[in-house]
């Protein structure tokens, strides 16, 4: 399979967490204006030439420590849902919430609170929504609170399932952590897909985590579930690798998993694998170096291709997502910190070699 991408980047309205809805790209971003931190919906044309700011999805007063956004759009029946973090960093209070729209994104209201936590180093961070079917929705998020008592300093992926009959979120389940409990887990930035067109086919989840070597560099890994998210493969075997740099101190971050129309899986992420030097552990996201890269799989994630570059720009990219906007036509969104702008790269799916 051949994927080709344009060399020039176009301006975009947002990055990861986007969907294709009724022929348009819908994404989000957080804007600070008039004393508020607003998460807004942004609508883009498939060619990425036009982006229009829309309704406010969620908002908080823009006080010191407010951290709101970094979420995921999802179509649930006739509704649009958006999961996001709503944190107050100075107070060490954290929550994952969902807003929904009944009119195609023109207006939004609060739907539910998925999870909350309180305490230093017990954060809840990036979230992802996946519609399981029959009104059930899987919300996956970075979770430092669940492992705090037994494994302080770890971060696991937690999943909770929306029950439309009871209108409640299920008890949390650990979707990913190290199979070997002696190893550090820092699993985060999840992205979930169904590995097949038949309802009930396995689920796959890509995420970033750290290596078990002393450098604890970030890498991209993968887990699966054969029962719609009730149990995950980490419970019986170690998580599999999508991408790990051949350099022990170099890292890869924030993956996004996409099922293409030809059935293949594509995972985009950022990595400083091609940089002259590595970033120190704990470097803030806005200072990380990384090109947008892609690996593909044609056997439902059992094996992955060699990573190729999608977009380099100023080598400080973050939060990528690949969308197939129409059959064979691709758009890769990301945030280029070198220019402090969201960008879009267009591409195509060619024939298999």
pLDDT digits 0-9 by tens, 267-277:
999 999 988 88
| Angle at the Cα of 59 from the Cα atoms of 58 and 64, rounded to 5 degrees | 140
Q: Residues of the chain with pLDDT > 90: what percent?
A: 93
| pLDDT for 353 | 58
- The full set of domain ranges for the chain reads 86-96+117-349
CB 219 within 8 A of CB 243: yes
Tokens representing residue 319 in the block: 């939060």
Quick check: helix, strand or coil at residue 42?
strand
How far apart (Å, rounded) are the C-alpha atoms in residues 19 and 38? Answer: 20
Average pLDDT score over residue span 101-116: 98
How many residues are present in the chain?
Answer: 353
Average pLDDT score over residue span 338-342: 95
Tokens representing residue 18 in the block: 């986007």
pLDDT in tens, 229-267: 999 999 999 999 999 999 999 999 999 999 999 999 999
| pLDDT for 276 | 85
Q: Is the pLDDT of residue 40 over 70?
A: yes
pTM of the model: 0.96
What fold is seen in the domain 86-96+117-349?
Answer: Neuraminidase (2.120.10)
Average pLDDT score over residue span 293-318: 96
């Amino acid at each position: 399979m051949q994927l080709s991408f344009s060399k020039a980047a176009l301006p975009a309205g947002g990055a990861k967490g986007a969907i294709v809805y009724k022929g348009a790209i819908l994404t989000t971003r957080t804007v600070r204006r008039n004393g508020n931190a607003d998460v807004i919906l942004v609508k883009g044309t498939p060619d990425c030439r036009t982006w229009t700011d829309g309704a406010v999805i969620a908002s908080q007063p823009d006080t010191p420590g407010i951290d709101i956004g970094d979420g995921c759009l999802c179509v649930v029946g006739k509704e649009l849902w958006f999961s996001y973090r709503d944190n107050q960093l100075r107070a060490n209070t954290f929550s994952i919430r969902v807003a929904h729209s009944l009119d195609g994104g023109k207006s939004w209201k609060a739907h539910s609170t998925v999870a909350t936590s309180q305490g230093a180093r017990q954060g809840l961070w990036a979230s992802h929504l996946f519609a399981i079917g029959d009104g059930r929705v899987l919300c996956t998020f970075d979770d430092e609170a669940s492992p705090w008592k037994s494994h302080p300093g770890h971060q696991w992926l937690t999943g909770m399932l929306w029950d439309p009959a009871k209108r409640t979120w299920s008890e949390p389940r650990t979707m990913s952590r190290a199979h070997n409990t002696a190893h550090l887990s820092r699993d985060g930035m999840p992205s979930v897909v169904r590995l097949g067109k038949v309802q009930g086919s396995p689920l796959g989840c890509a995420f970033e985590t750290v290596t078990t070597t002393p450098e604890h560099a970030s890498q991209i890994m993968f887990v699966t579930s054969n029962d719609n998210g009730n149990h995950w493969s980490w419970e019986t075997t170690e998580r599999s690798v999508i991408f790990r740099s051949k350099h022990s101190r170099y890292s890869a971050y924030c993956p996004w998993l996409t099922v293409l129309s030809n059935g293949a899986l594509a995972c985009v992420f950022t990595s400083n694998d091609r940089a002259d030097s590595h970033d120190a552990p704990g470097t803030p996201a806005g200072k990380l170096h990384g090109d947008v890269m892609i690996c593909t799989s044609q056997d439902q994630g059992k094996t992955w291709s060699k990573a190729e570059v999608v977009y380099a720009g100023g080598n400080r990219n973050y939060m990528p997502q690949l969308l197939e906007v129409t059959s064979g036509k691709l758009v890769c969104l990301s945030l280029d910190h070198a220019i402090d702008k969201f960008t879009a790269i267009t591409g195509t799916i060619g024939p298999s070699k």
